[in-house]
Amino acid sequence: MTNKRASATRPRIDHRTRVGQRRRARTRSHIIGTALAVFAEKGPDAPVIDDFIRAAGVARGTFYNYFTSTQELLDAVTKTLEDSVMSSTLAAMAHIDDPVLRLSTGIRIWLRWAQSDAIGCGFVVRSRFRGPLVEKQLAADLSGGLEAGKFRFPSVEIARDLLVGTILEAMHRMMTSEVPDSFTDEVAGLILQGVGLDKRAIDRLLARPLPRFEQPDWETAA
């Protein structure tokens, strides 16, 4: 009899646990999604806890159930952005083996994402986002193109700084002023020229259609 009762009540307990876990996951995602907009507007250092509580519309106790400091929340937002944007970019390029094509495709996808996502763009510019997935992929593609004799630059580090610096400045311009539809590919072309490609090769790369990229939904990305 005891075993029957235990087995009869266990599904209800498991169901309540799953519902609670989903609710917590949704609340955490909501806090991170709204925090990304706060960081995008104010930068990583200016916001205080109350800014995030107001943006998320949650009680103070609820907020502290998930995060204990702005730094902890910033780390969570940064990881969410990397997981969402860079992982989606890598998935879109999974079929590409050539490092030159990978680099040009990655630059174009990133810039077009930034142009279409004001909140994500603002966060990257103001936080000067540096994700390990981004850095690892950049180093691999720059090194691969250099070893294949397709790129020409003094060092991977210098080429990386040229690329990242140009992209960040381009993203800042997209944040603060109107740019033409051709802007992202024009920036990509100049970066490719800077790492040593000639105009004919650049034109061929920019003429290629981009693979499908899954736009992140910040409310559900975490």
For position 208, what pLDDT does the model report? 95
Looking up tokens 């860079």 gives 86
Q: What is the mean pLDDT of residues 122-130?
A: 83
| End-to-end CA, the chain | 44
Tokens matching residue 192: 């490719």
Q: What is the C-alpha separation between 210 and 52, in angstroms, rounded?
A: 36
DSSP 8-state class, residue 149: T
Domain map (residue ranges) of the chain:
2-207
Q: What is the pLDDT of residues 40-69, one digit of tens each?
A: 888 888 888 999 999 999 999 999 999 999
Given a cut of 80, whether residue 2 has pLDDT beyond it is no
CA angle 66, 23, 121 (to 5 degrees): 60
Give domain 2-207's CATH number out of 3.10.180.10, 3.30.420.40, 1.10.3720.10, 1.10.357.10.
1.10.357.10
Q: Which among 216, 219, 220 has a CA at the least distance from the CA of 84?
A: 216
Q: Which among 92, 83, 82, 87 has a CA at the least distance from the CA of 210?
A: 92
Q: Is 164 exposed, middle or buried (0-12, 13-18, 19+ CB in 10 A)?
A: middle
Given a cut of 60, whether residue 117 has pLDDT beyond it is yes
Are 137 and 90 in contact by the 8 Å Cβ rule? The answer is yes
Given a cut of 80, whether residue 94 has pLDDT beyond it is yes
